[in-house]
Amino acid sequence: MDAKVLKNYVDGYWVDSTSTRTTDVQNPATGDVIAKVPMSTIEEVNEAVASAKLAFEEWRETPPYTRARYMFRLRNLMEDRFEDLAQVIVKEHGKIIDEARGEVRRSIENVEVAAGVPSLMMGYNLEDVAQGIDEECVFQPAGVFCCVAPFNFPLMVPLWFLPYAVACGNTFITKPSEQCPLSQELFYELLDEVDFPPGVVNLVNGDKEAVDALLEHPDVTGVSFVGSTPVGKYIYTKGSANGKRVQAQAGAKNCLVVMPDADLDKTVMNILTSAFGTAGQRCLANSLLVAVGDVYEPLIDKLIDTAGQLTVGDGADESIQMGPVASQKAYKKIQGYIETGLDEGASLLLDGRDCKVDDYPDGYFIGPTIFTDVKPDMTIAQEEIFGPVLGVVRAATFDDAVDIIHSSPYGNASSLFTSSGKWAREFKYRVRAGNIGINIGIAAPIASFPFSGMKDSFFGDLHGQGRDAILFFTERKVAITRWF
């Protein structure tokens, strides 16, 4: 039986795309095609924008308390369908069920924070800026916004944006990842149940053609993006050139620094989650381990031993600790990087290349892979691999470790493992990365904080989530009044 072709959601209805182009959605654990996603046309994008623009006029007049109640309803529906959402993520992405549940939890947290919009959107004022003249600043919704979503957190990332945008009175278009669109399909079924006025929320599947149409459309006010640095730069440049506000979270090459005074048992477990969780397919994954001073030997011994015991398989099985990588393309790319590491002279201490999983002959499985003798200028130390490959670099001192971090063009995240408050403070203060972890391997900001990022890891001014989101999705209007 042919896999179903996904629909778009426009103006409150599920509609078939008229496009003749589709791409397959695969379960990466089995290789099975589980759906087909249409590559929507420019006309279909335009229809969604037109619907969102029309809906904006009424939606922006809806009181914030009412808009908040929509968020409460959405939150409750997501809790009710929590496990369904998690299972869909496992099927389309491959991450293990606990990681998928974590993703759903983070998604819901964004809805919960956005429900605070009656407070979050409050402005400020001052009487008698000159005698008898008062001045106020109000936060107003700005129009139609859209997001271009990545494959690695296919449910959560759009929710860094949509709940805030809509709670602030804007209307929204989601362009899901064409690789992992199914969790957004289910999420939009829930949005349909929430029963927003038609056009407030829209979903358009597609590829670059759809994205370009959004970037060029004069009625789109702002664009949110998460993905690779080359695409992030493209979206930021093109979106800005077309007069839009843009926030583009981009690529990463994060370092995890271990000091000699670190608690090694706890550190090793954190390294495992950081480097191999979600099979390394996270912009917050630490893929370069910097061992400072004489911590290298005891650290490596523990790490190789425990990493080698991680169970790899189908993420739907609760006993599995690491799933497949998300696609055949990713599989080949990661294998290529492992070969490059060997060619450049790094030593492969743990080889995940020939990972086989019983009963899953067609899955894209790569086991945990660890290189040592990595030099900071090697390809595997500089480029984002986005897979379960960890490189270990030695640094003589804390300062050398910071230099290694700063040699990267990226600045997404970095972690330090230490028992010393002094080194922790130095690290937080000096390291130019947006998301810092102290004894935390995945420095993932919770919903009321911005998901930060610097250098080539972020293009724009305001990040997703938290107060940044409220600023990104609103205009500040100043009114000065005097009464005769």
Please state, in angstroms and rounded to a whole number, the distance separating the CA atoms of residues 104 and 121. Answer: 25
Catalytic choice (180, 255, 283, 355): 283
100 or 148, CB closer to another protein? 100
Return the axis-axis angle of helices 64-80 and 82-93, rounded to nearest 10°: 70
**Does residue 255 carry a catalytic annotation?**
no
Please state, in angstroms and rounded to a whole number, the distance separating the CA atoms of residues 201 and 106. Answer: 20
User: Residue 173 Cβ, how far from another protein at the closest point, in Å?
Assistant: 27
Structure tokens at 275: 């480097």
CB atoms within 10 A of CB 399: 12
User: Residue 95 Cβ, how far from another protein at the closest point, in Å?
Assistant: 9
101 or 245, CB closer to another protein? 101
37 or 96, CB closer to another protein? 96
User: Residue 479 Cβ, how far from another protein at the closest point, in Å?
Assistant: 42
97 or 194, CB closer to another protein? 97
60 or 105, CB closer to another protein? 105
Binding site for another protein (CB under 8 A): 79, 82-83, 96-99, 101-103, 105-106, 269-270, 272-273, 277-278, 306, 310-311, 318-321, 440, 442-444
Amino acid at 428: K
- The three-class DSSP label of residue 220 is strand
Strands of the sheet with 171-175, listed across from one edge: 13-15, 8-10, 201-203, 171-175, 144-148, 220-226, 245-249, 458-459
CB 391 within 8 A of CB 255: no
User: Residue 468 Cβ, how far from another protein at the closest point, in Å?
Assistant: 20
- Alpha-helical (H) ranges within 257-378 are 264-276, 296-307, 328-343
Structure tokens at 316: 């739907």
User: Residue 314 Cβ, how far from another protein at the closest point, in Å?
Assistant: 13
- The three-class DSSP label of residue 288 is strand
If we measure between CA atoms, which residue out of 8, 319, 10, 299 comes closest to residue 178?
A: 8
- Catalytic annotation, residues: 283
